[in-house]
Amino acid sequence: MSWDMSILYHSKKQLCFTFFCLLITLYSNGQYQHLLHKSYAENIHNLQNMYTNLIAIKDTSKINQNINKIKQFAKSNNDKSLELEINLFSIYYTIEYRDKCSSDCVSSLIKIINEANTYQLKPIRIRAIRVLADYYWSKIRNYELAFEQYILLGKEIGTISYTDYPEKHRDLNMIGQSYYVFRDYKQAEYYLNRILELPEDDSNIMFMNAARNTLGLCYQKTR
């Protein structure tokens, strides 16, 4: 091969490699484009799929790679909501699937709760409080701290509409069932009755029925 041909060959090879890298970048960005700049109600199914797809990878190092990609994508597109969403997923995954609970998880969740408040991203704030409450309840069994978060969670839910936050049924049911476990039937009834005031559809009927069943048990205990 002549000198000129060799230069041409390597130039073409470099160009192909650069083009390939560009395609990979565009593909990676395209995977997350549908998550950008949407309200929680608009994005709820996309975010649920994101959680499902990331957890299905199973390899923690690969999951972390994808977390970092999404985080950088969110930052580069100035989407604070998506950035906090992927941060929340990272903590949730660490707690639920890596079983590496520590004070770091708590401080990280509190940071998300505060940032979500600063940026007026109420659904993220509510769900971060939920994760923190569940951490206290299920992982370290500090029920006093759990109920502190449940009380805060109940108040926050009362400040947002069902349209903007379709998971009201789920969170109120979690609070109500927790009070029932501790035989505080009055408080259990309060939270479970709030569920019955909400719209009913296929996405929340399980929580509606759970509320009705537990309310029946409360009435048996108190009437």
pLDDT tens string 4-46: 444 444 454 554 444 444 433 433 456 888 999 999 999 999 9
Task: State pLDDT tens for residues 160-172.
Answer: 999 999 999 999 9
Angle subtended at Cα 149 by Cα 146 and Cα 150, rounded to the nearest 5 degrees: 85
Question: Is the CB of residue 123 less than 8 Å from the CB of residue 94?
Answer: no
Give Cβ neighbours of residue 110 (< 8 Å, ≥ 6 apart). Answer: 132
- pLDDT tens sequence across 131-168: 999 999 999 999 999 999 999 999 999 999 999 999 99
The mean per-residue pLDDT over the stretch 170-180 comes to 98
CA angle 52, 50, 153 (to 5 degrees): 90
Q: What is the C-alpha separation between 130 and 121, in angstroms, rounded? A: 15
Average pLDDT, rounded, for the chain: 88
